[in-house]
Amino acid sequence: MKRRAYALTATLCAALALSACSSTRLGGSPVRSAAAPAPAPIEAVPSGPVESAPLAPIEGQALPPIAGSTAPLAPGLTPPAGGTDVATLPPAPAPAPAAPASRTAMVGNWTVRNAAGSSCRIQLSSSPALDLYRASASGCSNQDLSKVNAWDYRDGEVYLYQTGGSVAARLRGSPSALSGVIAKSGAPLSLSR
C-alpha cells in the first residue's frame, strides 16, 4: 500500500511539474489556437531618374550690385560730383600659412634655429614609438630641444616631445619650413630643411 502511495505521489508531482512548465505565468509559451496572420506586404516606393529644373526668380528687392561695378541710382537721386572722395575698405589680411599636407611630409632632417641664434639638427622619423613617432636631436645647446625623442603631427601642427612625454615645442608651417615656440620658455623657434 505504501508503494502505491509513493507511485501516486510521484505521478502527481510529475504531472504538476509538467503543467507548470507550460503555464504562461512561469515563462512557458502560450497555447495557440490558430496561427497568427502574416503581416501585410510592404509596397516599394516607385523610383526613377531625378531631374532638376531652374528655380523661379526671387521676388522682392533687387540684388546689390557686383563689387567694382557702377550701380544704377534710385529714382530722384543725383550722382556724386566728379572728384568726390569715396571711402574704401582696407585690404583683406594675408591668409594664414597653409598647413602641411600630411605627417609624411614632415619626416626627415631639419635645421633648428632658436632666438639665441644657435642651431642644431633634429631628425623626424616615420618609425612609430607607441602613439607617437621617433625623433632625435643632435648638437642642441637648449636643454629642452636636446631631450627631444618623439614627435607627432595633429591639426596642422608639429609637436616635439621630450623624454617623459612633455611637449618641448609646437610648430606650424609648410613641409619646407616650420615656425613656433619652445613650450617652457615661449622663445621663438624655426625649423628649415
pLDDT in tens, 117-143: 888 999 999 888 788 999 999 998 888
Domains located in the chain, CATH noted:
104-192 (2.40.128.10)
d(CA 107, CA 126): 6
pLDDT in tens, 75-89: 555 655 655 555 666
Arithmetic mean of pLDDT, 95-105: 64
pTM beyond 0.85 = no
Which residue is listed with cell 546689390? 64
H or E stretch including 49? none
Q: Are the beta carbons of 191 and 177 closer than 8 angstroms?
A: yes
Look at residues 108, 138, 134, 106 and name the one whose alpha carbon lies nearest to residue 121.
Answer: 138
C-alpha cell at 112: 633648428
**According to the model, what pLDDT value does residue 133 have?**
93
**According to the model, what pLDDT value does residue 79 have?**
59
The yes-or-no verdict on residue 63 having pLDDT over 90 is no
Contacts of 12 (CB under 8 A, 6+ apart): none
- For residues 65 and 26, which has the higher predicted lDDT (pLDDT)? 65
**According to the model, what pLDDT value does residue 110 have?**
92
**According to the model, what pLDDT value does residue 167 have?**
92
d(CA 158, CA 146): 17
- For residues 55 and 21, which has the higher predicted lDDT (pLDDT)? 55
Query: Which residues are paired to 65 by β-bridges?
Result: none
**According to the model, what pLDDT value does residue 100 have?**
43
Note the Cα 146 to chain centre separation in Å: 33
